[in-house]
Structure 1
Amino acid sequence: MFVRTLLVLAALAVLFYGGVCLFLYLGQRQQIYHPEMTWRVQQRPDFELVNGGVHLRGWVMNPGHAKALLYFGGNGERIEDSRDDLARWFPDRTIYLLPYRGYAASDGRPGETALVGDATALFDHVAKAHGQVAVIGRSLGTGVAVQLAAKRPVERLALVTPFDSLVRVAAGYFPWLPVNALMRDRYESWRYVNAIHCPVLVIRAEDDEVIPTARTQALIRAFAPPPAEQVIADAGHNTVQDHADYRVSLERFLQ
């Protein structure tokens, strides 16, 4: 009787564990992407890019300059809120802010392959009008920016609160789950860095509560030669942009 009870309990534990794995596998993109935080669009889009039949709508600031800047934000970031700051910080660059699929006024659904494809299409469109195109990626956007810079001749690449692999980040949060087998959108930036041949700046928040320092440092070690690094003291993952050193670091690097 005791053995039978143990077998029943073990079977229930296996079923529960399998159910949790299935739930997380099916709902993983709802955990990675948070477009709902950007749907209240306050600034009317003035730029549209169609890629694969999907309409992406965003903004262009400081039009008419020879150099351009692309910005790819975090997984729940309202990039339209950065319009004024970026335009003021980089007055000599034309700046393109294009929300991801499903974000703000853009159509479609986000996914790693789709986002990288959209970023590449944006770069190709912008490069026709601008001799040099720099890129800033932040948090999730660093995974997009790294793959873009490995595919296209980016002038300069700034990575804000980056990680080496989203799989490894998730494994740190869920060490009891087979994350490596479950994750479809992996953003394994470390695999692409050897194909990047432009100057790179990594900006790290000293008190980053989302991306562990070890994951950022692992990405830095994957580069050869190593990128420039700036640590923003007393900054958190979602507050790094509020510190003057953040602005100054980007201005010096991109100007």
Structure 2
Amino acid sequence: MSSNKVFRIALSASAAAIGSLAAYWTLLATRQGDILFNARKLPVVHLSDDFSTYSHIVPGGMVRGYVYHPDGEAALQDLFIYFAGRSEDVRATAQMLHWLPQGFGFAAINYRGVADSQGHPSEIASVEDAVQFANHLRRAFPHARLHVVGRSLGTGVAIQLVAQQNFASLQLVTPYDTLLEVAKRRFPLVPLSLLLRHRFDSLAHSAEVAATTQVLLAAQDDVVPHERSEKLIAAWPTPVSVQTIPDSDHYNIMELEATWLHLIDFALTAILPEPVAAALEAAA
């Protein structure tokens, strides 16, 4: 084979590779919200009569959520407001609630485009929906203590919500400092610093958080490396309790009894920082 022909083949292969990369980058740039949240319909999960439904209108349809209060509204003392991980259907996570003791409830919405929610997901949209949902829960359960829980992708939503409003506690399951740093590890050949619009910069937003905070880490985590969680923890502005769940990984951590027991114990013992407590008492 002549050297010219070898050169032409190599040139064609290089052009094809560059074209494939360019097409992939274009896909990430134009549909990154759907890719990031893994927006897709999921099989219907049936919930018991202990759940009430929630919805609000967004461009393209409805955001849907669920509130678990088996003992009735009047008996609800503590309510977890949960923000899910990527592609997680909160109706499936709600199957774990048999570990909640009397007086506890659980509330969650599916992100836009995920499971039974409609619309197109984004960082801005997820935080807007979280604020609207939290405001609804404050009106619906005025005597309950509200605790925000975020898992993985949802820790970025949870932190931004708690940076805007006061809550009894904040609990973060496998959190990260910024989504950009996590994504760089998975896509080393993609210029994410230029392309990524939904950065979930939890490190920056944490400066506005005043809530008592707990972090739960997986024993093994191949999605959010411990170093990304540890960087966030090191910069946290308030005292933070850190626990590692035995025999857990990034995917099964919410399926383990130990995780829920830690969430419950921390919620029961959480004490608001004095300035926040004083402000809430004055407002009451």
Calculate the TM-score normalised by the size of structure 1: 0.88
Please list, as runs of the form range in 1=range in 2, the aligned pairs for 1:59-138 lying within 5 A after superposition: 59-62=66-69, 63-64=72-73, 65-86=76-97, 88-128=99-139, 129-131=141-143, 132-138=145-151
Assess if the C-alpha contact under 8 Å between 1:68 and 1:126 holds in 2. no
- Greater alpha carbon shift after TM alignment, 144-153 vs 230-239: 230-239
- 1:56 pairs with 2:51: no
Partner Cα distance (1:20, 1:68) in 2: 42
What residue is the counterpart of 2:200 in the other structure? 187
Assess if the C-alpha contact under 8 Å between 1:38 and 1:103 holds in 2. yes
Partner Cα distance (2:117, 2:8) in 1: 54
Assess if the C-alpha contact under 8 Å between 2:45 and 2:92 holds in 1. no
SS at match of 1:192: helix
Structure 2 residue runs without a partner (length 5+): 269-284
Instruction: Give the C-alpha shift of residue 223 in structure 1.
Output: 0.4
SS at match of 1:130: coil
Assess if the C-alpha contact under 8 Å between 1:58 and 1:99 holds in 2. yes
What residue is the counterpart of 1:241 in the other structure? 254
Instruction: Give the C-alpha shift of residue 238 in structure 1.
Output: 0.7
Assess if the C-alpha contact under 8 Å between 1:51 and 1:118 holds in 2. no
What residue is the counterpart of 2:152 in the other structure? 139
Please list, as runs of the form range in 1=range in 2, the aligned pairs for 1:138-217 lying within 5 A after superposition: 138-217=151-230
Calculate the TM-score normalised by the size of structure 2: 0.79
Assess if the C-alpha contact under 8 Å between 1:33 and 1:75 holds in 2. yes
Assess if the C-alpha contact under 8 Å between 2:66 and 2:107 holds in 1. yes
- Greater alpha carbon shift after TM alignment, 20-29 vs 122-131: 20-29
Structure 1 outlier segments of 4+, above 6 Å: 4-7
SS at match of 1:158: strand
Instruction: Give the C-alpha shift of residue 253 in structure 1.
Output: 0.5
Instruction: Give the C-alpha shift of residue 185 in structure 1.
Output: 1.2
Identity level (%): 28
- 1:253 pairs with 2:266: yes
Structure 1 residue runs without a partner (length 5+): none
What residue is the counterpart of 1:32 in the other structure? 36
Assess if the C-alpha contact under 8 Å between 1:38 and 1:76 holds in 2. no
